[in-house]
Structure 1
Amino acid sequence: MRFVLFMALILLAGCTSHEAEPAPTPSASSTSALPEAEGPAGNLASAGKDADWDTFVLPCEDKTKEPTIQQVVTADITGDGIADALVVRACDNSTVEVFDGSSPARRPWRIDQPLLSSPTAELRRPWVTGLEVASREIIIKANGHAIDDHGTCRKDRLTFAFTLVGTDFTQLRLENDPAGKCLPAG
């Protein structure tokens, strides 16, 4: 009996598989870096604020200027339970572009037209100073011009409110608080 146990141990000890490879250790050269807007899950919601947004927002009308990202807020705007990205982009004025959080991070889907890009909003030449989402309502605070003001400085504190209806944004309200003096732009 001892002989059988002894032979079994010898056989087991000699039966190591040569096919099994040790687990590779990660190194800088063996890992592939994800693009800046790509998150581990591959969707936009996973990239969130860390995405390289200046490659996805619309270009400035003045082709000599590059868009500047002022702020990024993530919140569920579409109601699908996935965080969407609201990106404040500035050239001479600010706009807010909303990207669907379930879209691929390498090619995010813009929802409707940028907020603050309507002819009425553009007349005010808004410069966003704050952005928040409350119960799927987008609230944008901005310094802007009065509609009839063609001056060089923004003197109105504006609050815009938008909501998504279907696939289009609807402006709910615009509040104006004239400051009577020049307000900062940037």
Structure 2
Amino acid sequence: MRFVPFVALILLAGCTSHEAEPSPSPSPSVSEPPEAEGPVGNLAGAGKDADWDTFVLPCADKSKEPVIQQVVTADVTGDSIADALVARACESSTVEVFDGSSPAQRPWRIDQPLLSSPTAELRRPWVTGVEVQAGEIIIKANGHAIDDDSKTCRRDRLVFAFKLAGTDFTQLRLENNPAGKCLPAG
């Protein structure tokens, strides 16, 4: 009887807790199921790195491609998730707002693009800056005075302010500061 515990002690003496146990090899005839793909993330995670020109509305002139001018991420919906504000230009600019909780592959546009109202379109705004301050979207743009029929150059510095009310954006104000000279568009 004394011999068995001694042999067991010798066999255990070579094993330590630091040694890795060999992992069993899968049987060649059994294939493992593929791992399920995890969620690929929401728009808030993609932010500025998303392929925005595929998500914004196309230009009215189908021969032109929209140009992404600026992408800003900020919470405009009040859900503590960063939404994406995408300024895009064709003949003039608009700003599209996408819900930050939407999937990065198919972002949800909130309401109509900002600066797409008939009054704003008359000014042919060209976005120079977008920011969010206390839930208000502030858009700076160069544009035309409504009474300017020539439309040869943008002479007004415009500042638009919008706020989300429910599921629609409301324009809070528009400041028009004439520059007295042609301003850049692009």
Deviations 1:133-169 (A, max 9, x none): 0011000010000001122100010000000000000
> Residues 83 and 20 (structure 1 numbering): CA distance in 2 closer, same or farther, change over 3 Å?
farther
Paired position in structure 2 for 1:109: 108
Aligned to 2:171: 171
Q: CA deviation at 1:95?
A: 0.2
Task: Give the secondary structure class of the aligned counterpart of 1:4.
Answer: helix
- Once the two structures are TM-superposed, the CA of residue 18 in structure 1 deviates from its matched residue by 4.0
Kindly state the Cα deviation for residue 10 of structure 1 after the two structures are TM-superposed: 6.0
Rounded Cα–Cα distance in structure 1 between residues aligned with 2:16 and 2:125: 77
Cα drift, residue 3 of structure 1: 2.6
Q: Map of 1:1-186 to 2, 5 A cutoff?
A: 1-9=5-13, 16-19=21-24, 42-151=41-150, 152-186=152-186
Structure 1 length-normalised TM: 0.84
Q: CA deviation at 1:19?
A: 1.3
Report the structure number with the largest CA radius of gyration. 2
Residue matched to 2:32: none
Query: What code does the residue aligned with 2:180 have?
Result: G
Deviations 1:110-140 (CA, angstroms, capped at 9, x unpaired):
0000000000000000000111100110000
Q: In the superposition, relative to structure 1, how do residues 156 and 12 fare at CA in structure 2: closer, same or farther (>3 Å)?
A: closer
How far the C-alpha of 1:180 sits from its partner, in A, is 1.2
Give the CA deviation at 1:109.
Answer: 0.1
Give the residue type in structure 1 aligned to 2:12.
A
- Taking the aligned partners of 1:50 and 1:3, their CA distance within structure 2 comes to 65
| CA-CA distance at 1:7 after TM superposition | 2.5
Q: What are the ranges of 5 or more consecutive residues in structure 2 without an aligned counterpart?
A: 27-38
Cα separation, partners in 2 of 1:145 and 1:10, compared to 1, 3 Å: same
Please tell me the root mean square deviation across aligned C-alpha atoms, in Å: 2.2
Relative to the length of structure 2, the TM-score reads: 0.84
Unaligned 5+ runs, structure 1 = 22-39
Q: CA deviation at 1:8?
A: 3.0
Identity of aligned residues (%): 75
In structure 2, what residue type is equivalent to 1:172? Answer: L
Partner SS for 2:170:
strand
Per-residue deviation, residues 18-50 of structure 1 (Å, max 9, x unmatched): 4169xxxxxxxxxxxxxxxxxx85100000000
Pair 98,143 (structure 1): closer, same or farther in 2 beyond 3 Å: same
